[in-house]
A and B are shown apart, each in its own frame.
Chain A
């Protein structure tokens, strides 16, 4: 029997997770899928992320900032409409360190959340849930 929920259910959000740690990445993807939070594509590097962003639109990014702020370039490409995703796509940034100047820069770029490493999978899943319901 079809229920109203089945008929009207919105398609699940598709997010892109850019994170070098395979163990962390895989765990987040598996749990988000099991808990029906989002479909998450993985990128192990910013180069891989750029390829993914050129291939299809995403509803949100979970972006590792990188040691040399390589993630900032990806973020700026997104904001400047140089990907297939809307420029205002929600972004959460993950960083090993983040000084005041970087925080200001990330704010200017409209980043929704900054997560300082190390943090737990559970914490990122909470962010995934938030990004998954955000409306670009």
Chain B
């Protein structure tokens, strides 16, 4: 069997409703906000990863509401790891993208930002629409243990609360 060049994520069920929920937040293409920047900076430091993002999956792109370690503010959805991550409830963890047939030929793996490790926890509305992720990226393969997963989920919960609710107490 020949390897899959680079698998594009499936489209979630109820994609139109999901996009409506995302657009209703009026958050796409808005300026950076400290309440989200704080969370990705905290995540990058906690996990010792060079890149941490709050990524939102739009119709044909992923747009970053907050980012550490990445210069661009968006990439195509067709190459997005986060577009895969929003297809499941649990965080998606890719220990080594080069060893995963879905991502081994992905341009974000073979080129900049040279993703090897990825962990993304979905940001979900109360209606169950997964709008994006809080994700961690490393240039080296690595693993996430149960404590790491719990910390990622906790930070995701805090990012989700900021995304869906009124601004909370400052850190």
**Residues on A close to B: CB < 8 A?**
21-24, 26-27, 30-31, 34-35, 44, 118, 120-122, 125
Q: Is the CB of B154 within 8 A of A22?
A: no
Contact B46 A22 (CB under 8 A): no
Tell me the interface secondary structure of chain B in the complex: helix
Q: Which of chain A's residues has its CB closest to B161's CB?
A: A26
Asked if B151 and A122 make an inter-chain contact with CB atoms under 8 angstroms apart, the answer reads yes
Cβ contact within 8 Å between A22 and B169 = yes
Known: A23-B39, A118-B45. A30 touches B157 (CB 8 A): yes
Set B45, B150, B169: member contacting A34, Cβ < 8 A: B150
Question: Do B150 and A35 have beta carbons less than 8 Å apart?
Answer: yes
CB atoms of A23 and B147 under 8 A apart? no
Prevailing SS type, chain A contact patch: helix
Check: B153 CB closer than 8 A to any chain A CB. yes
Contacting residue for A121 out of B39, B151, B157, B170, CB 8 A: B151
A85–B147 Cα distance when bound, in Å, is 29
Whether A23 and B171, one on each chain, are in contact in the complex, defined by CB atoms closer than 8 angstroms, is: yes
- Given A23-B38, A23-B39, A34-B150, A122 and B158 touching (CB < 8 A)? no
* Chain B residues in 8 Å Cβ range of A121: 46, 151
Shortest CB-to-CB span from B52 to chain A, Å, is 13
B71 CB within 8 Å of chain A: no
Interface centre among A24, A26, A125 (most CB of B within 10 A): A26
Take A120-B46, A121-B46, A122-B46 as given contacts and tell me if A27 and B171 are in contact as well, using a CB distance cutoff of 8 Å: no
